[in-house]
């Protein structure tokens, strides 16, 4: 092979503080040796386990990666006539898929989200990126190539997240973020369609647990009748009820409501979640201004009333997307804190967070006989399946009442 030899070795010349050494690709030509790092660091004991007769788990992953690196190096060497280290380095480093990896693609996508003002979504992707980096660090790998993400790798990553105490919901969020990055990589030519690891007969993202997140109409009645012990409880309870009565509007959308959103005895708004992602067919959500809703606005709304003023003063006009996100998160934290106290005071067996308000709106309507299509429109969902996830399962008493109707001869 042009008088060139290649091998992956443990470079013991410099030991790190954690007792590891860099694993490197060694290329030898005319008795001259050059070493190229491959972003893996191992102890002597770990190196020996990688090269044991039957390496397992992480050690087997390392061995496969080392073999892949050496095969790639040999392929590059064969293309160089006459061989020079300069030509090798240029071609080896510029070989397809070497200039960009999963981590850099994630960061680029996060930067784009921030430029678009989508701070909340960017934060979610950053959490996924940090999780992936932590997993690779545990395997003593600093890089994650697109082609490393195989169905087996994804299964192993899922198991690792479970061991880390992550919920099925969180696991699903992280993996859907990774799936988006891989889809983008295919569109940009960094990954072959054949190497795509998601889908039937490959890897399927686990569905989240469908836990009950809705209050009964009786429990909501308890919240309405509750006498707050201070103004913080009063505001938290009222904003929770505002969300419930206004089609389950989330706190971010409550924060973005202006007095100009009110006209003809109705509140009109678009969900922030879909406003930036849906280019066409944006669905306006309309809420009838019930006396109970108007009372909450009169009590907590910012004065003086001006059309361009945010109703509840949670955010301000000059906020950056990052500042807006921080203020919304602070508002959610405050509401949940005092709703937890209220829930305990009235004997609820769970914390009635802001998330419960949205699910309660959908479930109470469903149990009242409202068509799912109407609930879908009210929530601002495009897909009926999304709406169905919001609807709480029916309890035994409800099922029994309908079963008894089978005997109403």
How many CB atoms are closer than 10 A to CB 292? 13
Return the bridge partners of 21, or none.
42
- The DSSP-derived string for 38-75 is EEEEE-HHHHHHHTSSS--HHHHHHHHHHHHHHHHHHH
**Confidence (pLDDT) at 40:** 87
Phi, psi of 108 (to 5 degrees): -65, -40
Quick check: helix, strand or coil at residue 360? Answer: helix
Distance between CA 103 and CA 109 in Å, rounded?
A: 10
Residues 29-32: contacts with CB within 8 Å, 24+ apart? 29/2, 29/3, 29/4, 29/5, 29/83, 29/85, 30/3, 32/85
Helix H or strand E segment including 21: strand 21-29
Residue-averaged pLDDT of the chain: 84
Contact present, 102 and 132 (Cβ < 8 Å): yes
Quick check: helix, strand or coil at residue 26? Answer: strand
Confidence of residue 229 (pLDDT cuts 50, 70, 90): very high
Distance between CA 345 and CA 405 in Å, rounded?
A: 37
Average pLDDT over residues 257-271: 89
Distance between CA 218 and CA 349 in Å, rounded?
A: 14
Distance between CA 206 and CA 158 in Å, rounded?
A: 9
Distance between CA 239 and CA 331 in Å, rounded?
A: 10
- Tell me the chain's radius of gyration from C-alpha atoms: 28
Phi, psi of 314 (to 5 degrees): -70, -40
Task: List pLDDT tens digits, range 297-353.
Answer: 999 999 988 999 999 999 999 998 889 989 999 999 999 999 999 999 999 988 999
Establish whether the linkage from the previous residue to 278 is cis, with ω within 30° of 0.
no
Average pLDDT over residues 257-281: 77
All structural domains of the chain, each given as residue ranges with its CATH number in brackets, are 4-93 (no CATH), 102-195 (1.10.150), 217-401 (1.10.443.10)
Distance between CA 247 and CA 71 in Å, rounded?
A: 58
Distance between CA 269 and CA 286 in Å, rounded?
A: 7
Task: List pLDDT tens digits, range 157-206.
Answer: 999 999 999 988 899 999 999 999 999 988 877 777 888 999 888 999 98
Phi, psi of 148 (to 5 degrees): -75, -25
User: Among 364, 365, 337, which Cα is nearest to 351's?
Assistant: 337
- For 202-352, list the strands marked E by DSSP: 262-263, 266-269, 285-288
Return the bridge partners of 33, or none.
28
**Confidence (pLDDT) at 401:** 52
Distance between CA 149 and CA 144 in Å, rounded?
A: 8
Helix/strand/coil (H/E/C) assignment for every residue in 127-152: HHHHHHHHHHHHCCECCCCHHHCCHH
pTM: 0.58
In this model, does residue 148 exceed pLDDT 80? yes
Instruction: Give the burial class of 372: count Cβ atoms within 10 A of its Cβ; 0-12 exposed, 13-18 middle, 19 or more buried.
Output: middle
């Amino acid at each position: 092979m042009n008088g060139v030899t290649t091998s992956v070795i443990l470079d013991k010349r410099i030991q790190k503080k954690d007792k590891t050494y860099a694993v490197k690709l060694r290329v030898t030509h005319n008795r001259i040796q050059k070493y190229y790092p491959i972003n893996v660091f191992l102890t002597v004991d770990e190196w020996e386990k990688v090269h044991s007769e039957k390496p397992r788990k992480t050690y087997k992953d390392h061995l496969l990666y080392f073999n892949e690196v050496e095969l790639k190096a040999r392929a590059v060497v064969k293309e160089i006539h006459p061989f020079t280290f300069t030509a090798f380095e240029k071609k080896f480093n510029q070989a397809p898929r070497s200039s960009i990896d999963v981590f850099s693609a994630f960061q680029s996508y996060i930067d784009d989200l921030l430029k678009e003002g989508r701070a909340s979504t960017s934060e979610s992707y950053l959490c996924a990126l940090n999780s992936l980096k932590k997993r690779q660090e545990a395997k003593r790998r600093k890089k994650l190539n697109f082609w490393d993400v195989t169905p087996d790798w994804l299964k192993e990553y899922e198991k690792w997240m479970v061991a880390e105490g992550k919920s099925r919901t969180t696991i699903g969020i992280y993996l859907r973020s990774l799936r988006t990055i891989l889809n983008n990589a295919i569109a940009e030519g960094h990954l072959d369609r054949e190497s795509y690891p998601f889908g039937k007969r490959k890897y399927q993202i686990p569905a989240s647990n469908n836990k009950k997140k809705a209050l009964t109409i009786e429990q909501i009645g308890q919240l309405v009748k509750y006498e707050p012990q201070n103004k913080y409880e009063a505001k938290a309870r009222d904003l929770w009820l505002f969300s419930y009565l206004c089609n389950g509007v989330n706190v971010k959308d409550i924060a973005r409501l202006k007095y100009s959103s009110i006209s003809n005895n109705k509140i009109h708004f678009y969900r922030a979640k879909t406003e930036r992602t849906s280019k066409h067919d944006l669905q306006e959500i309309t809420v009838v201004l019930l006396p109970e809703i108007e009372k909450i606005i009169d009590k907590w709304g910012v004065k003086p009333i001006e059309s361009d003023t945010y109703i509840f003063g949670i955010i301000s006009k000059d906020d950056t997307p990052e500042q807006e996100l921080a203020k919304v998160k602070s508002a959610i934290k405050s509401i949940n804190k005092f709703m937890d106290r209220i829930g305990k005071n009235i004997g609820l067996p769970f914390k009635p967070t802001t998330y419960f308000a949205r699910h309660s709106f959908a479930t109470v309507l469903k149990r009242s006989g409202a068509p799912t299509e109407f609930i879908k429109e009210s929530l601002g969902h495009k897909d009926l399946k999304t709406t169905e996830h919001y609807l709480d399962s029916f309890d035994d008493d409800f099922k029994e009442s309908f079963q008894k109707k089978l005997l109403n001869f």
